[in-house]
Amino acid sequence: MIFLKYRIAEQKIKGIITKNKSTTILQDVVDVLYESFEKYSWVGIYLVKGDVLILGSWRGKQATEHTKISIGKGVCGSAARSGKTEVVDDVSKDSRYLSCFRSTRSEIVVPIKKKNSVIGEIDIDSDVPSAFNKTDEKFLEKIADMLRQHI
C-alpha cells in the first residue's frame, strides 16, 4: 500500500510529461511531487547554466536565498559535480550543507542527466529526519530521467 502513493505520483507526472506541451512542465512536476508526499517539505528543480546551478521551478512554504549555487558547492553542487544522487539523513551533520530553512532535517538531490552530463537536478528538503529511503531515491531517479527531454 505504501508504494501506491509513488505509483500514483509517477502516473500523474507521466501524464504531464507526455500530454503537456506547454512551458509549465517543470512547475507542474514540482507541484505533483510537493502535493503527493507530506514529507517533501520543499521541492525545487535547479538547472545547470555553465558552472552554476540556477533555481527554476520550486514549491514550498518559503523561498530560498540559494537561487544560484556554484557546481561543487553545497549538497546540490556536489551532486551536480559527481552526477550521483545525494541523500543527507541529518543536514546538521553534513559540512557541505547550505542552509535554506531552519526546519529542514534531511535532504535528497537527484541529478538530471543527458548523455552523461548533468543538466539539472531535483532538490527536496524535508522537515522529517532521515525522510528519504531507497524507494524515494529510485522513484525520483525515474522522474529525473523522464524530465531529461524537457530541460
Rule CB under 6 A: which residues touch ligand SME? 42, 44, 64, 66, 69, 74-77, 97-98, 100, 107, 123, 125
Sign of the alpha-carbon dihedral angle for 5, 41, 97, 72: positive
Q: To 10 degrees, what angle do helices 134-147 and 25-36 make? A: 170
Which residue lies nearest ligand SME, judged by its C-beta? 74
User: Residue 97 Cβ, how far from ligand SME at the closest point, in Å?
Assistant: 5
Angstrom distance (rounded) from CA 144 to CA 151: 10
User: Residue 67 Cβ, how far from ligand SME at the closest point, in Å?
Assistant: 9
Q: Between 10 and 31, whose beta carbon lies closer to ligand SME?
A: 31
Q: Report the chain's terminal Cα–Cα distance, integer Å.
A: 33
Q: Between 15 and 72, whose beta carbon lies closer to ligand SME?
A: 72
The residue written with cell numbers 520543499 in the block is 42
Q: Between 107 and 136, whose beta carbon lies closer to ligand SME?
A: 107
User: Residue 132 Cβ, how far from ligand SME at the closest point, in Å?
Assistant: 13
Q: In what order do the strands lie in the sheet with 117-126?
A: 68-70, 52-60, 42-49, 117-126, 106-114, 86-88
User: Residue 1 Cβ, how far from ligand SME at the closest point, in Å?
Assistant: 30
Q: Between 20 and 67, whose beta carbon lies closer to ligand SME?
A: 67
